[in-house]
Amino acid sequence: MKKKNKGMTLLEVMIALVIFALTSSAVMNVIYNTMHGLSGMEESYFGQMVADNVLSQIKLNKIWPSNSWVNDKQELAGRTWYYRYRGQNTQDVNFRSLEVEVFITSKTNTDTPVAYLRTYVSK
């Protein structure tokens, strides 16, 4: 009587490897997308902190923002953040709308801001 082999055939091994490869690539894709999303969230978070800092500086120094963009930069979390702000007139001459935009590069005219803040300031 012949003994039956208890091992796997070459075809079974190859099918298992294909399933493993497909699963591994899907998992790696999920990990990559998660890490990419986290870096975007980090930029957005720190950008919002820079915008809040700019707003605080404007209020503490009692700066009446002009209608044209004012560009500057700030260090935070070990990197340089570029920002710009401007005021816009409202119906009340004692109030002005204030916009703050934060960027990760110095190209503030062409890049999309990572953070945006709009509020109102008074004289």
Q: Where are the alpha helices (DSSP H) in the chain?
A: 10-60
Range of the domain at 62: 10-122
4 occurs within a structural domain: no
List pLDDT tens digits, range 88-115: 999 999 999 999 999 998 887 778 899 9
In a domain, 32, yes or no: yes
Measured at the CA of 63, the angle between CA 46 and CA 88, to 5 degrees, comes to 80
Residue 110 lies in a domain: yes
Confidence at 3, pLDDT banded by 50, 70, 90? low
CATH code for the domain in which residue 91 is found? 3.30.1300.30
Q: Is residue 1 part of a domain?
A: no
Any domain includes 2 = no
Q: pLDDT tens digit string along 13-62?
A: 999 999 999 999 999 999 998 888 888 899 999 999 999 999 999 999 99
Give this prediction's pTM.
0.72
> Considering its fold, how many domains does the chain have in total?
1
Give the count of alpha carbons within 13 A of 89, CB side only: 2
